[in-house]
Structure 1
Amino acid sequence: MSRPDPEPTPQDEAARAGWLYYVGGMTQDQIAAELGVSRQRAQRLVSRAMSEGLIHVRLHHRIGACLDLEAALTARFGLTRARVVPGLGPGADPVRAIAPAAAAELERFLRMPEPMVIGLGTGRAMRGMIDAMVDMEAPQHRLVSLIGNIAPDGSASFFDVVMRIADKVRAPHYPMPVPVISPTVEENAAFHALPPVRRVVDLARNADVVFVGVGQMSDDAPLLKDGFVSRADLDEMQAAGATGEVAGWVFDSQGTYLDFGTNRRTGGVRVTPGLDRPAIGIAAGASKVPAIFGALKSRIINGLVTDEATAKALLAHP
């Protein structure tokens, strides 16, 4: 049985202080205020985190409270994998917290000797994950984008990660050569009828493991901010119950994909709910909680890398 509210050990405190200092970029005064200790104790905790090898770019000590949240998420949503990391405090970018853990999770698959096809979504969290990765040789695997990599103006999508990861992994990689969202249903069908596109789509549909970001569909929707949908598109989908999106495909609060709006013009491959292979979401932040919850409930994703605050909010979600 998981511990509902474990007492922090001295090593827990040192690990948390080291995380806030080396990853969060906090001063010792800020860490002292965050942990409720004196500045001198905060300084000693940070020093201990380094001297004991708890911090070396990534957090090596698994804080007990995070382990309990992982167990609770796994039990509630039937996850195949859950990683929860300490948050960086109010106002901090949650991508900075989760990127190293997400990178370690992807590297775990890349180190497997058996050849695999790894499907990748896009977005800020996914890009943060790739930026946090170490360089490695993994030529036995194939990396494929799940979503189109052409922006509305014809440029490459800024948050596309397949080309970015190729520089670090040196593995065969397959971008999805279609618009993220086509102007019309007919144009989307024409792109997907092209033989090279069909081959990439088939590869993506049969990916052995999937890593995706989870976007919210509130007024700060990434699809709107990045120019892939118009304000009218977003209003229309919000009226139909749009709550979140994975790889550009929009779903409601129950995680049911909408047969509506831009979903009829979205390029690439939809992540099928209930996959029998890992589909890991990389996402954190208060605004994303309803979207992550819907994706977990319908099992669009069956694994999650997130932070403490988001994990607690998901477990408290009705």
Structure 2
Amino acid sequence: MTIQSVERSSAPDSIKSREALRAAQLYYLQDLTMDAIARELHTSRSSVSRLLSFARETGLVEISIHSPLDLSTRTQHEIRTRHGVTAHVVPVPDRISEVDRLERVAISAARILSGLVDSNMTIGIAWGSTLSAMGRHLLSKKTHNVHLVQLNGAANTRTSGIPYAGEILSRFGLAFGAEPHQFPVPALFDDPETKKALFRERSIRRVLDLQRRTDLAVFGLGSPAAVVPSHVYAGDYFDQADHAILRDEGVVGDVATVFYRADGSDDGIALNARSSGPSLDELRAIPRRLCVVSGLSKLDSLRGALEAGIMTDLVVDEDTARHLVDA
């Protein structure tokens, strides 16, 4: 159980936050009943209930459950032992659609991310279906001097990608009071030389420099076989020749449109020379890297990513995690 403090302000939202914080401290730390809290705060029991709900919804209160007998806890420990990754396994029913499974995982990932974000950070965001789902469930957290930087371009032959990637960045920015920095380049260049030339432009170098100063990267994993289609595979990002490269090179997934094989290798994959995303080496240089994965159809992509060592933290649904450790 963690209860966050709030800064003093005369704004109505801050007054409500202070009242919610006081109610949470009395309820969770001093074990007072709602009736007792209502008497102390000179309000009604229903108002106390609303304040406690507000405290949870806004991240003032974070609740964690730890049990050595829980299957998810044992699975998390197994992933940590095998792969050196801090895992958060999300319980989900066996009979659930892949869309609902993604929503469950996205809700948990959004709350975990809130605990990782702090002031004076630069956060790298790789757009995609998973991050789009996370953006709908983010908790507001008061920070200052936080920068959000888009890790890979989103443009293709049909769209600039700005509305899609921009909406994701905007949601994260609003949640953390952060300044978003878009990356206005193609997801995949037609020619590696064009990429090199554009990356020499000062306006683009400014974003690249921000990416290199990233403290925390947040990303999902793309997969050619995903039931909930990864945006890069469902959109107009590949032509037939590109799809042939994916097949011939044995690509099992990507992170920020950088592709890798089942053994975690990425050398010699021609598409990577044209990708706007950070190389796997550049990604591994980021101190904290939160990866969010949902669905058995992404199991091969997850295994390859773990072999590549591109994550420090993992949020994954229980079924996929169980298959990962059973293998």
- Relative to the length of structure 1, the TM-score reads 0.75
Q: Could you say if the C-alpha distance between residues 189 and 88 of structure 1 is closer, same or farther in structure 2, counting changes exceeding 3 Å?
A: farther
Which shifted more, 69-78 or 137-146? 137-146
| 1:171 aligned residue | 178
What residue identity is the alignment partner of 1:71?
H
For residue 102 of structure 1, give the secondary structure of its aligned residue in structure 2. helix
1:132 and 2:137 aligned: yes
Deviation at 1:60, TM superposition (A): 5.3
Q: State how 1:26-37 maps to structure 2 within 5 Å.
A: none
| 2:289 aligned residue | 279
What residue identity is the alignment partner of 1:277?
P
Partner Cα distance (1:234, 1:90) in 2: 32
| 2:215 aligned residue | 208
Q: Could you say if the C-alpha distance between residues 219 and 107 of structure 1 is closer, same or farther in structure 2, counting changes exceeding 3 Å?
A: closer
Q: Could you say if the C-alpha distance between residues 231 and 105 of structure 1 is closer, same or farther in structure 2, counting changes exceeding 3 Å?
A: farther
For residue 185 of structure 2, give the secondary structure of its aligned residue in structure 1. strand
- Relative to the length of structure 2, the TM-score reads 0.73
Q: Could you say if the C-alpha distance between residues 231 and 91 of structure 1 is closer, same or farther in structure 2, counting changes exceeding 3 Å?
A: farther
1:116 and 2:135 aligned: no
Deviation at 1:248, TM superposition (A): 0.4
Deviation at 1:159, TM superposition (A): 4.6
Q: Once the two structures are superposed, what CA deviation does each residue of 1:235-267 show, in whole Å capped at 9, x if it has no partner?
A: 222111111100000000011114323212111
Deviation at 1:211, TM superposition (A): 0.9
Q: Once the two structures are superposed, what CA deviation does each residue of 1:172-226 show, in whole Å capped at 9, x if it has no partner?
A: 1211121111222232223212111111112112211111111113387622212
1:67 and 2:73 aligned: yes
1:297 and 2:304 aligned: no
What residue identity is the alignment partner of 1:66?
S
For residue 215 of structure 1, give the secondary structure of its aligned residue in structure 2. coil
Deviation at 1:271, TM superposition (A): 3.9
Kept in 2: contact 1:237–1:261 (CA 8 A): no
Partner Cα distance (2:139, 2:235) in 1: 28
Partner Cα distance (2:183, 2:145) in 1: 20
Partner Cα distance (1:132, 1:198) in 2: 32
Q: Once the two structures are superposed, what CA deviation does each residue of 1:277-298 show, in whole Å capped at 9, x if it has no partner?
A: 1111111111100111111122
Partner Cα distance (2:220, 2:162) in 1: 15
2:199 is aligned, of 192, 197, 206, to: 192
Deviation at 1:168, TM superposition (A): 2.6
What residue identity is the alignment partner of 2:171?
R
Partner Cα distance (1:131, 1:152) in 2: 28
Partner Cα distance (2:129, 2:257) in 1: 13
Deviation at 1:89, TM superposition (A): 2.9
1:267 is aligned, of 253, 273, 276, to: 276
What residue identity is the alignment partner of 2:298?
K
Q: Could you say if the C-alpha distance between residues 258 and 237 of structure 1 is closer, same or farther in structure 2, counting changes exceeding 3 Å?
A: farther
1:307 and 2:317 aligned: yes
What residue identity is the alignment partner of 2:317?
D
| Aligned length in residues | 260
Q: State how 1:152-163 maps to structure 2 within 5 Å.
A: 152-157=157-162, 159-160=164-165, 161-163=168-170
What residue identity is the alignment partner of 1:101?
S
Q: Alignment RMSD, CA only?
A: 2.4
1:84 and 2:94 aligned: no
For residue 281 of structure 1, give the secondary structure of its aligned residue in structure 2. strand
Deviation at 1:229, TM superposition (A): 1.4
Q: Give the greater-gyration-radius structure (CA).
A: 2
For residue 147 of structure 1, give the secondary structure of its aligned residue in structure 2. coil
Kept in 2: contact 1:178–1:268 (CA 8 A): no
Deviation at 1:73, TM superposition (A): 0.8
For residue 151 of structure 1, give the secondary structure of its aligned residue in structure 2. coil
Deviation at 1:59, TM superposition (A): 7.9
Partner Cα distance (1:214, 1:255) in 2: 13
Kept in 2: contact 1:250–1:258 (CA 8 A): no
| 2:102 aligned residue | 95
Structure 1: unaligned runs, 5 residues or longer: 1-52
Q: Could you say if the C-alpha distance between residues 269 and 86 of structure 1 is closer, same or farther in structure 2, counting changes exceeding 3 Å?
A: same
